[in-house]
Amino acid sequence: MSDTVPQSEETGGWSKRKLRTALLCSLAVNLLGVGLIAGAIIAGPHHGGRGEFGLKGFSHTLPKDRGDVLRQSFEQQRPKFRELREAARTARREATGVLVAEPYDKAKLSASIAKIDEAESKLRVLVSDYFIDTAEKLTPEERAQLAEWWKKRQPRLFWRGGKPDHGGETEPGTKAK
């Protein structure tokens, strides 16, 4: 009699078949993960549900003919908006370079920050002027719709102290004292 275990019996470890199955499952999970990551990189971040913003987004809530007028108006302004946004981005990149440059130059950084302020101010003025001119073209009912749409789309712009501002009302229908 021999004390050796026959080769056909398992000795408590994983069989080749189980190891092969585990390896294939691991490979499948890894490929799935790589596919998800690659898809996210290629497709970019998901902005589901946000849609268009500003007056262009609001234009889709109006009857087609009225909305088309607003969208055409926006398309005429788009190149100027792009130009001013790019100028602000360029100013920010330049200021970032000045910030990390050695030796630190306070006056140069201050001038760079002033360039950012100027570029962003020009953009804000253009946006404000466009908003005012467009609001002038709306009917009183459409301006009221725009006000409600604006509050719903960007509610935090109307908050005070981290909480919704009810225009001086503590409870709907009652004034704060």
pLDDT (tens digit per residue) in 138-148: 888 888 888 88
Q: Which residues pair with 175 in a beta bridge?
A: 169
Q: Could you report the per-residue pLDDT of 11-32, keeping only the tens digit for each?
A: 667 888 888 888 888 888 888 8
Task: Please check whether residue 161 lies inside any domain of the structure.
Answer: no
Q: Which residue has tokens 């946000």? A: 50
Is-contact 74 55, C-beta < 8 A?
Answer: yes
The contacts of residue 80 (CB under 8 Å, 6+ apart) are 126
Examine residue 154 and state whether it is found in any structural domain, yes or no.
no
- Residue 156 is predicted with a pLDDT of 67
Find the domain containing 111 and state its range: 78-146
pLDDT value at 51 more than 50: no
**67 close to 59: Cβ distance less than 8 angstroms:** yes
Q: How far, rounded to the nearest angstrom, does the alpha carbon of residue 51 sit from its chain's CA centroid? A: 11
Q: Tell me, what's the pLDDT at 48?
A: 43
User: Residue 158 falls within a domain, yes or no?
Assistant: no
Specify the amino acid at residue 139: T
- Which runs of consecutive H residues, i.e. helices, occur in the chain? 16-43, 54-59, 64-100, 106-137, 140-153
Considering the entire predicted model, what is its pTM? 0.54
Q: Are 77 and 84 in contact (CB under 8 A)?
A: no
Task: Specify the higher pLDDT residue, 101 or 40.
Answer: 101
Q: What per-residue confidence (pLDDT) applies to 114? A: 93
Q: How does residue 107 score in pLDDT terms, banded at 50, 70 and 90?
A: very high
Confidence at 166, pLDDT banded by 50, 70, 90: low
Number of structural domains found in the chain: 1
Residue 134 lies in a domain: yes
Residue 39 covered by a domain:
no
* CATH number for 88: 1.20.120
